[in-house]
A = this chain, B = another copy of it.
């Protein structure tokens, strides 16, 4: 499981509470490993039991208290172990492909609409990623270390969304053409 490891990576960058982690997962890390606050709280608890992180209460004024977690020695060890360990390539589950495959069994106009909607959603995400690239990484050739790694992950998101948009366009063109005949 990689949620633990995603949390370790994130906490290593900067210690934080469950709530803060959940927010980070809304963007950046969450782009390629989404998680809800429930999952994060539960996992943090498990990670404390495993000794990978330690948490301590922080009293705040003006807002409720929180528990801030940081990575322990053991946590760093586990992270290093996991980074070097071989993993399976992702098993992708692509709903829309199942729908395209079954297209002849339903209303093709409705499905074309659904695909167009997904195309736009992916185009939107792509724009978000491209904006981040432009703003945060104006000179990629000069990057190194952690900043380089962040950039490379973003590049993965860009490539994936680009591929999806282009695929949707291909599907739309072919299905509309087929409908006309």
Which residues from chain A sit less than 8 Å from chain B, CB to CB?
2, 5-6, 8-9, 12, 29, 32-34, 76, 79-80, 82-107, 110-111, 114, 117-118, 121-122, 125, 143-146, 148-150, 152-153, 155-157, 159-160, 162-164, 166-167, 170-171, 174-175, 178, 181
Nearest CB of chain B from residue A47's CB, rounded to whole Å: 15
Q: Report the copy number of this chain in the oligomer.
A: 2
A5 neighbours in B (Cβ, 8 Å)? 98-99, 102
Given contacts A12-B105, A86-B117, 14 further A-B contacts (CB under 8 A): A2-B98, A5-B98, A9-B98, A12-B102, A32-B97, A32-B98, A34-B91, A34-B93, A83-B106, A92-B92, A104-B146, A144-B178, A148-B178, A152-B171
